[in-house]
């Protein structure tokens, strides 16, 4: 029916109709048939090789830390993003409001091309830093990964593993002092910091910027830019309040209170549903 036909095109800008018609015609056919006419740079991912990206979930992570990068990285050609946790099943965020499914357990995963360790609230981060099974798994995966990455306090977990020794790194603004004073790490107040194959991102939303940078390293600038447009990432927050270096002490206190209070439910009846 023409009504349906029209609706099938609701995501198609006029400029892209031809290209997408081609893609659509390929339908359930091979990946090759649906390849773009102008191929991306001949990287492993663009060449159709699977790129195994694993994101570690652990109790009390902050929701955007894994999901922002997952949104970006799952758009890369040939990439699969898998949520991994100590046990399969739903893993609950720091506020206890939301649970994302872990599709695989760490026992089932012995290789990843890309590992991402998200950050968490205070309790979740501390628990992860002291979870020897988790730390051993991260160390094992890092041995053969192409990229080992973190968002927010995930860098503290990487530090606890020993992976940041002698490196430059970043972390959540309120954890910078801890990272700097407890580990042999040069803290940089950047959105993301690359040191060899390790990339650390600043707090929560910085995972988006880091993932686009990582996308460019994996699949080239043109593909990364296309992902950025695909997720319409032209950020324009209503306020200019996200940079801790420019924040006054009162705003910092208020931010940390909101975090602490939104996480209070950890010990309330709502907890441990996951």
Instruction: Map the footprint of a copy of itself across residues 5-64, applying CB under 8 A.
Output: 6-16, 19-20, 23-24, 27-28, 31, 34, 36, 38, 62-64
Query: Please, what is the minimum distance in Å from the beta carbon of residue 83 to a copy of itself?
Result: 6
Which residue, 127, 60, 55, 123, is CA-closest to 94? Answer: 60
- Is there binding between residue 238 and a copy of itself (CB under 8 A)? yes
The span from the CA of 267 to the CA of 159, in Å, is: 27
Cβ pair 91, 102 in contact under 8 A = yes
CA 166 to CA 198: how far, in whole Å?
12
Residue 67 annotated as catalytic: no
The residue within the footprint of a copy of itself, chosen from 85, 182, 183, 194 (CB under 8 A), is 182
Check 152, 159, 202, 224 and give the catalytic one: 152
Cβ 225 to a copy of itself shortest distance, Å: 4
* CB-CB contact of 51 with 76 (8 Å): yes
Name which position in 107, 136, 264, 272 contacts a copy of itself (CB under 8 A): 264
The answer to whether residues 121 and 65 touch, using CB atoms and an 8 Å cutoff, is no
d(CA 227, CA 224): 5
Contact range with a copy of itself by CB under 8 A, out of 105-113, 133-141, 142-150, 173-181: 173-181
What are the two backbone dihedrals, phi and then psi, of residue 137, each rounded to the nearest 5 degrees? -65, -45
Binders of a copy of itself among residues 112 to 171 (CB under 8 A) are 121-122, 125-126, 129-130, 152-153, 156
In whole angstroms, how close is the CB of 106 to a copy of itself at the nearest point?
17
Query: From the CA atom positions of the chain, what is the Rg in Å?
Result: 20
Return the active site residues: 152
């Amino acid at each position: 029916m023409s009504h349906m036909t029209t609706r099938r095109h609701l995501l198609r800008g006029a400029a892209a109709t031809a290209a997408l018609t081609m893609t659509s015609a390929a339908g359930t056919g091979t990946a090759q048939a649906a390849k773009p006419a102008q191929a991306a740079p001949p990287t492993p991912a663009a060449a159709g090789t699977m790129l195994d990206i694993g994101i570690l979930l652990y109790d009390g992570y902050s929701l955007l830390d894994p999901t922002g990068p997952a949104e970006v990285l799952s758009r890369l050609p040939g990439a699969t993003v898998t949520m991994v946790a100590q046990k399969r099943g739903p893993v609950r965020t720091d506020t206890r409001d939301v649970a994302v499914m872990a599709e695989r357990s760490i026992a089932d995963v012995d290789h990843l091309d890309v590992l991402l360790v998200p950050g968490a609230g205070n309790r979740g981060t501390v628990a992860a830093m002291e979870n020897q099974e988790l730390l051993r798994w991260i160390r094992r995966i890092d041995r053969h990964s192409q990229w080992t990455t973190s968002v927010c306090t995930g860098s503290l977990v990487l530090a606890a593993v020993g992976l940041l020794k002698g490196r430059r790194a970043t972390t959540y603004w309120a954890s910078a002092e801890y990272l700097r004073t407890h580990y042999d790490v040069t803290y940089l107040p950047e959105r993301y910091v690359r040191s060899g194959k390790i990339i650390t991102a600043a707090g929560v939303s910085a995972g988006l910027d880091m993932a686009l940078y990582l996308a460019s390293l994996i699949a080239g600038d043109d593909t990364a830019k296309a992902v950025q447009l695909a997720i319409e990432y032209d950020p324009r927050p209503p306020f200019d309040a996200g940079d801790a270096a420019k924040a006054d002490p009162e705003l910092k206190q208020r931010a940390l209170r909101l975090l602490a209070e939104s996480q209070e439910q950890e010990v309330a009846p709502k907890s441990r549903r996951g």
